[in-house]
A and B are shown apart, each in its own frame.
Chain A
Amino acid sequence: MAFVENILGILATRIPIGNWIQSLVDFLVINFSGLFNGFAEIIDNLISSFQAVLSYGHPFLLIVILGLIAWKLKGKGLALFVVLGLYLVWNIEMWDPLVVTLASIITSVVVALVIGIPTGILKAHNRAVHIITRPILDFMQTIPPFVYLIPALMFFGLGNVPGVIATVIFAIAPPIRLTYLGIKQVPEELKEAGIAFGSNWWEMLYKIELPGAMPSIMMGINQCIMLSLSMVVISAMIGAGGLGKPVLRSLSVVDIGLGFEAGLGVVIIAMILDRMFGSKN
């Protein structure tokens, strides 16, 4: 009996997962702060650069350019919607936060793709990478983003940078997965043709595998953009600027009008990005 009680006692001992994670994060913060700072600086620079480009000249200039892009991509209807929608955002004085949000999204997507697509390529060619990344990707896709807001905050402090980091973590899985999938789906006979005509590893990659995987990769990019968008409000919780900020503030001060206006900005930018880059036609 004593034996059973012992076992039960051991089983009932709380496993201190929370403490372990805390120690791990502390350890990383103390020992790798240089690395994190460097990384933060790169991201900060990226955000500022995009922001500077987007704020060049009068807002109407950007509105017209985006309208033209929409026209080129999807036609007149969307172009009209883009111009009217963005004009409305400017009119209700949400333009500056919108530019910050847009710059953050672009930065997040760029970082996610720059890391994600090569990772997907490696995953397709290397079994070890494939096996290691699989559970990590599952984890990143299922864990609620609120959970890694705190470590992001501890590594990178308050502001736009941890917002972008959290967004990248949230949005990076699709480009990795879909790049991997696209390459895996390239028919064996096409690869054989490549080898038979004497291609080397690089030629195989950029003349056969990547072009063959392109539709799948494009889908990964679309999903990455959409997921980044859905982090706008959440990343405001760790101090990211942009449209998420007034939304949060309106919550704490119960300002229905402000909340609605900021929310409208989010909806408009979401619809524009979705219509322009979304996978549905």
Chain B
Amino acid sequence: MIEVKNLYKVFGKKTERVFPLLAEGLNKEEILDKTGNTVGVNDANFKVEDGEIFVIMGLSGSGKSTLLRCLNRLIEPTQGEILYDNVNLTDLNKKELREFRKDKFGMVFQHFALFPYRTVQENAEFGLEMQNIPAEERQQRAKKALERVGLSGYEDQMPDQLSGGMQQRVGLARALAVETDVLLMDEPFSALDPLIKKEMQDKLLELYEELDKTIIFITHDLDEALKLGDRIAIMKDGKIIQIGNHEEILKNAENDYVRDFVQDVNRSRVLTAEDIMIRPLAQLYPQDGFRTAIHKMKKAGISSIFAVERNRTLRGIVYLEDVVEVLKEDLEDDTKIEDLVKEVPTADPAENLDELLADIANLDIPLPVVDENNKLLGVIVKTNVLANLAGEDVI
């Protein structure tokens, strides 16, 4: 778990004179006028749980990159604490910090930051070189990471021979190869075309499901934040002005700034199921038994779970109460979990909001969205449809 407490970053000289002014409640602009110091991060407080995607969102210049770079001390915080599993990163000396960066953090950059004089393979190996991994293991792990991001066969190319999307895949592979618990991503997809961007988001979610990683993801795009984030923090002028899950962010847009953001979600086009669907919190695979089913549902805090094939073809839904029943009645040996799979209505990715509302009105479970091969793409939850409809009305 990463915990940030009262974190400040003030750029410029004599930063100590800024703190009394902050205490007086002066804003970023007033402080810049008075002292010439820029307040990059102003009293940030948040926790990131293991295995979640935490999104930091805000307009350009709001301090997102600064905050992210404070976490691995690429930028030295002026004040405050960063606790990683109770180690205070601000206390580490240079050497300890370097070890910590190698072991704990992988990073992906907005403009990819690939080394132009290294091949794709050598780029992916970079972090492992820093870890002093022997050459053979290094090559294999980098190769595997490249395979994961779909770049097998491109090992010997130079970065400038690849498209932007593929370059960022290399950036991702470089960060995956080091096998750290945390991935820091600073607007990794902002520089990409919309379609490529969507593809990369899907790829990231796929990897997130496969690997056990904590991701701190920065974006200025609410769509992206909603698609990826378990929880979202919104920043303005260096301050975190709201933290919450999707529903909370969308429902109680706490001030004008957040409301503007929320309205900004691209509503010029007609929203479809594909746009507002979210990732299912958990899925039940064929090999999973009763106990796994209960564990997965409990962990995700849900009372039903979609059962899928290995290739994510939807089989149906399993209710928690049915599973509990089986275990309670000691019917484990006579029953198979397939017997508990119930049919569910499904939606097409192209369905629009009104149709979805009709579908979901009397449904207590999320509505699965499947493609023409019945493959589970995502799920629609009621609040999500409502929030989006509400958003349309505002305009």
Contacts and interface: CB of A to CB of B under 8 A. Distances in A.
Interface of A: 187, 189-190, 192-193, 195-200, 203, 207-208, 211-212, 214
B74 A197 contact: no
Contacts of B184: 196
B107 A207 contact: no
A106 B174 CA distance: 42
B112 to A, nearest CB: 8
Interface of B: 69, 72, 74, 98-99, 101-102, 105-107, 109-111, 113, 115-118, 126-127, 129-131, 174, 178, 184
Given A189-B109, A192-B74, A193-B109, A198 B115 contact: no
Nearest to A189: B113
Given A189-B109, A192-B74, A192-B109, A197 B115 contact: no
B279 to A, nearest CB: 27
A49 to B, nearest CB: 33
B101 A196 contact: yes
A197 B117 contact: no
Given A192-B107, A195-B74, 5 more contacts: A192-B109, A197-B178, A203-B130, A208-B115, A212-B116
Could you say which of A193, A196, A199, A211 has the most chain B C-beta atoms within 10 Å of its C-beta?
A196
Contacts of A189: 109-111, 113
B74 A198 contact: no
Contact of A196 (B105, B110, B111, B115): B105
A212 B117 contact: yes
Nearest to A208: B115
A168 B102 CA distance: 43
Contacts of B99: 198
A58 to B, nearest CB: 41
B131 A198 contact: yes
Contacts of A198: 98-99, 101-102, 127, 130-131
Contact of B115 (A192, A200, A203, A211): A211
Contact of B74 (A196, A211, A214): A196
6 contacts: A193-B113, A196-B72, A196-B101, A197-B106, A197-B130, A214-B117
Contacts of A197: 101-102, 106-107, 126-127, 130, 174, 178
Nearest to A188: B113
A192 B130 CA distance: 14
A127 to B, nearest CB: 15
Contacts of A187: 113
When A and B form their complex, which 8 residue pairs have the shortest distance between CB atoms, in order from nearest? A198-B102, A196-B107, A193-B113, A189-B113, A197-B127, A198-B101, A198-B130, A211-B117
Contact of A193 (B98, B107, B117, B129): B107
B130 A199 contact: yes
Contacts of B131: 198
Contacts of A207: 126, 129
A190 to B, nearest CB: 5
Contacts of B107: 192-193, 196-197
A207 B130 CA distance: 10
B98 A190 contact: no
A211 B117 CA distance: 7
A193 B178 CA distance: 13
A259 to B, nearest CB: 47
A145 B109 CA distance: 49
Nearest to B101: A198
Contacts of A212: 115-117
A59 to B, nearest CB: 39
A200 B96 CA distance: 12
Nearest to A195: B74
A211 B184 CA distance: 26
A192 B105 CA distance: 13
A202 to B, nearest CB: 11
Nearest to B75: A192
A48 B113 CA distance: 47
Contacts of A190: 113, 115
A199 B174 CA distance: 14
B117 to A, nearest CB: 5
Contacts of A192: 69, 74, 107, 109, 113
A269 B111 CA distance: 46
A208 B101 CA distance: 17
Nearest to A190: B113
A275 B224 CA distance: 54
A126 B313 CA distance: 61
Contacts of A211: 115, 117-118
A198 B175 CA distance: 12
A203 B131 CA distance: 11
Contacts of B117: 211-212, 214
Nearest to A197: B127
Contacts of B174: 197
A48 B102 CA distance: 49
B113 A200 contact: no
Contacts of A200: 98
A272 to B, nearest CB: 29
A200 B127 CA distance: 12
B88 to A, nearest CB: 19
Contacts of B110: 189
Contacts of B106: 197
Nearest to B98: A198
A136 to B, nearest CB: 29
